[in-house]
Structure 1
Amino acid sequence: MEGKKKRILRAFRAAFPYTIPIFAGFWFVGLTYGIYMNVSGFSFWYPMIMSLTIFAGSIEFVVVNMLLGAFNPLQALVMTLMINARHLFYGISMLDKYRNTGWKKGFLIFGMCDESFTINYTAKIPEDVDEGWFMFFVTLLNYLYWFSGATLGGIFGSLLKFNTEGLDFVMTAMFVVIFMEQWLKEKNHVSSLLGLGLSLLCLLAFGAENFMIPAMLAIISVLTLLRKPIEKESEEVCQ
Structure 2
Amino acid sequence: MDRKALSAAFPVTLPVLMGYLSIGIAFGLMLEKAGFNFIWAFFMSLTIYAGSGQYLGVSLLATAASLGTVAVMILLINFRHLVYGLSMLEKFRGMGRRKLYMIFSLTDETYALLAGAAVPVGVDPKNYYFSIAVLDQIYWIAGSVIGGVAGGLLAGKIDITGIDFAMTALFVVIAVEQWQSYKRHLPAFLGAGCTVLFLIIVPALWGLGQQQMLLVSLGVIVVLLLALRSRLEDRTEGEEVAAQ
Fold-level similarity (TM above 0.5): yes
* Matches for 1:41-120 after TM superposition, within 5 Å: 41-120=35-114
- Please give the root-mean-square deviation of Cα atoms over the aligned residues, in Å: 1.6
Deviations 1:17-44 (A, max 9, x none): 1100000000000011101111122211
2:14 is matched with 20
2:221 is matched with 219
* 1:203 is the counterpart of 2:199: yes
TM-score (norm: length of structure 2): 0.90
In structure 1, distance between residues paired with 2:168 and 2:115:
28
* Matches for 1:85-234 after TM superposition, within 5 Å: 85-160=79-154, 161-207=157-203, 209=210, 210-234=212-236
TM superposition shift of 1:127: 4.1
In structure 2, distance between residues paired with 1:129 and 1:170:
36
In structure 2, distance between residues paired with 1:166 and 1:17:
32
TM-score (norm: length of structure 1): 0.91
Q: How many residues align?
A: 233
Of all paired residues, the percent bearing the same amino acid is 37
3-state SS of 2:46 partner: helix
Quick check: 149-158 or 229-238, which moved more?
Answer: 229-238
Runs ≥4 in structure 1, deviation > 6 angstroms? none
Answer yes or no: is the 8 Å Cα contact 1:104–1:132 preserved in 2: no
TM superposition shift of 1:189: 1.1
Answer yes or no: is the 8 Å Cα contact 2:23–2:167 preserved in 1: no
Q: Point out where structure 1 has 5 or more consecutive residues left out of the alignment.
A: none
**Amino acid aligned to 2:214:** M
TM superposition shift of 1:134: 0.3
Q: Point out where structure 2 has 5 or more consecutive residues left out of the alignment.
A: 204-208
Deviations 1:62-88 (A, max 9, x none): 111111113411111100110111111
Answer yes or no: is the 8 Å Cα contact 2:26–2:164 preserved in 1: no
Answer yes or no: is the 8 Å Cα contact 1:188–1:237 preserved in 2: no
